[in-house]
Amino acid sequence: MKKVIQLRKKERKNLLEKAEKYLEKLKKRIGPLSGVVFGSVSRGDFNDASDIDIVVITEELPAHPVRRLEVLLTPWVPGIDPKGYTLSEFEQLKQKGNPFVQLVLEEGIVLIDEIGIFKNE
Ordered by where they begin, the domains of the chain are 2-113 (3.30.460.10)
Q: What is the pLDDT of residues 25-75, one digit of tens each?
A: 999 999 999 999 999 999 999 998 999 999 999 999 999 999 999 999 998
Helix axes 99-107, 87-95, angle to 10 degrees: 100
Other Cβ atoms closer than 10 A to 35:
26
Whether residue 121 is predicted with pLDDT greater than 70 in this model: the reply is no
| pLDDT at residue number 4 | 85
| pLDDT at residue number 44 | 93
Q: Which residues contact 24 (CB under 8 A, 6 or more apart)?
A: 112
CA distance 58 to 74: 15
Sheet holding 52-58, edge to edge: 80-86, 52-58, 33-38, 109-113
What predicted TM-score, i.e. pTM, was given to this entire model? Answer: 0.92
Whether residue 120 is predicted with pLDDT greater than 80 in this model: the reply is no
Confidence of residue 1 (pLDDT cuts 50, 70, 90): confident
